[in-house]
């Protein structure tokens, strides 16, 4: 589809990806956006690639929202933002696209660090997990560690590779192979490799990407992303949705990329955490009134690689008032609380799923009433586990659980 002159005129903001080769590596259209801009934006390294011709320059701020506000105040003057590689892959373009209509922007990507790293290593990009540790905790890695996995991570700075190596050792992945790629595509490019447990490399540049070929120790826990992690994967005080029931609960909740879950009465957060592990764009809010349990939720979320879990302090339904509408709701505790079901059902988006588990007769009565009111299904779940019984084994039953599941039509 062609772009008219009027459409081009309203594009006051350009975002240009630039590599280590500077202006020489830009396409003609990218160079034109740089040349026509009245305001130039970028890091000190990006702006140093341009001749100092007196134009206004803005550099990154902390928090970044201040810089975005400064950029928006210059509308409609032509602004060109310079970014490393592909601005839409964990870059400034993602942030700006949340505030500026795409019709007002022109985005010209360069080769991303992930593409360059895969070219250097001979890794298929489609088979690699790409993530960023820039401004994010190392706990993010935990959701991707698996035997044989290949990870590429954008670094925060020169200290990131050593921190990654130490983190891998602590998680039972000390034999993993690390490759640090600095200043890719320019004259200062350097590639350094070694194992996590033997990593002793100094003098790493701030601009680097870490490649991890995961090798698990023999005693490293296997934590797949499919719901139903072992109960031992969670710290808890007894308030834990057991493994088998948790897997059935997540199946009924049906995690969809980008959707939001309310985990009401979250306990140790196991359901919300497994929801988030299903896809990097899934979102969840764990609502828990007990402070000690909220601390357990935070520990579990970090250990299992989903530090983005939102933890909400307070009792439902009052604590739900400030949350955005959910796509799915799990009620793991407090099913008999007045107005809880009504609040959750009203807030639920059309097509959303509500799932509740109870173990009491009073809870079952509440679920039966809700089934009459809105439809849905009731399921009785009985689980028994084989445990030692003297020199032999016997079946030890868990408390039977009644599960209600409904879709809001």
Domains present along the chain, CATH in parentheses: 11-111 (3.40.1010.10), 114-213 (3.30.950.10), 231-407 (3.40.50.150)
Evaluate the CA torsion angle 213, 218, 220, 221 in order and state its sign: positive
Instruction: Give the integer Cα–Cα distance in Å for 32 and 106.
Output: 12
**What pLDDT is recorded for position 173?**
98
DSSP secondary structure string, 281-344? T-EEEEEES-HHHHHHHHHHHHHTT-TT-EEEES-TTGGGTTSPPPSEEEE-S-TTSTTHHHHH
**What pLDDT is recorded for position 10?**
82
DSSP-derived secondary structure letter, 29: H
Instruction: Give the integer Cα–Cα distance in Å for 13 and 77.
Output: 8
**What pLDDT is recorded for position 5?**
47
Global pTM reads 0.91
**What pLDDT is recorded for position 2?**
47
391 by DSSP, 3-state: which? coil
With a cut of 50, which residues of the chain have pLDDT below it?
Answer: 1-2, 5-6
Cis peptide before 63 (omega within 30 of 0): yes
Instruction: Give the integer Cα–Cα distance in Å for 117 and 353.
Output: 41
Instruction: Give the integer Cα–Cα distance in Å for 143 and 120.
Output: 25
Tokens of 200: 């002793």
Instruction: Give the integer Cα–Cα distance in Å for 4 and 57.
Output: 29
**What pLDDT is recorded for position 8?**
56
39 by DSSP, 3-state: which? strand
- What does each C-alpha distance from 31 to 18, 77, 405 come to in angstroms? 10, 18, 56
């Amino acid at each position: 589809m062609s772009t008219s002159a009027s459409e081009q005129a309203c594009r006051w903001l350009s975002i240009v990806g630039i590599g280590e080769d500077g202006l020489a590596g830009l396409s003609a259209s990218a160079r034109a956006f740089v040349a026509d801009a009245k305001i130039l934006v970028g890091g000190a390294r990006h702006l140093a690639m341009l001749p100092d011709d007196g134009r206004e320059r803005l550099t990154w701020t902390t928090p970044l929202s201040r810089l975005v506000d400064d950029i928006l105040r210059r509308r409609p003057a032509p602004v060109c933002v310079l970014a490393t590689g592909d601005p839409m892959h964990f870059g400034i373009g993602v942030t700006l696209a949340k505030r500026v209509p795409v019709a007002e922007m022109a985005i010209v990507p360069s080769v991303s660090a992930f593409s360059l790293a895969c070219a250097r290593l001979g890794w298929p990009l489609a088979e690699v997990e790409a993530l960023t540790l820039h401004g994010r905790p190392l706990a993010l890695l935990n959701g991707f560690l698996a035997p044989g996995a290949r990870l590429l991570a954008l670094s925060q700075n020169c200290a990131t590779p050593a921190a990654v190596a130490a983190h891998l050792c602590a998680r039972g992945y000390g034999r993993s192979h690390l490759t640090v790629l600095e200043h890719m595509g320019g004259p200062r490019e350097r590639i350094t490799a070694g194992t996590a447990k033997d990593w002793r490399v100094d003098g790493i540049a701030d601009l680097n990407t870490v490649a991890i070929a995961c090798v698990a120790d023999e005693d490293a826990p296997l934590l797949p992303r499919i719901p139903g992690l072992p109960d031992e994967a969670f710290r808890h005080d007894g308030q834990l949705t057991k493994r088998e029931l948790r897997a059935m609960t997540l199946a009924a909740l049906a995690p969809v990329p980008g959707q939001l879950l309310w985990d009401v009465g979250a306990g140790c957060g196991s359901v919300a955490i497994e929801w988030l592990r299903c896809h990097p764009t899934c979102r969840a809010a764990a609502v828990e009134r007990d402070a000690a349990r909220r601390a357990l939720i935070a520990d579990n979320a970090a250990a299992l690689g989903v530090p983005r879990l939102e933890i909400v302090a307070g009792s439902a339904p009052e604590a739900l008032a400030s949350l955005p509408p959910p796509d799915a709701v799990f009620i793991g505790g407090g099913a008999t609380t007045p107005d809880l079901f009504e609040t959750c059902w009203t807030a639920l988006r059309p097509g959303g799923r509500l799932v509740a588990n109870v173990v009491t007769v009073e809870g079952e009565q509440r679920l039966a009433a809700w089934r009459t009111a809105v439809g849905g299904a009731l399921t009785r779940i009985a689980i028994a586990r084989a445990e030692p019984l003297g020199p032999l084994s016997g079946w030890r039953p868990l408390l039977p659980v009644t599960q209600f599941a409904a879709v809001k039509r």
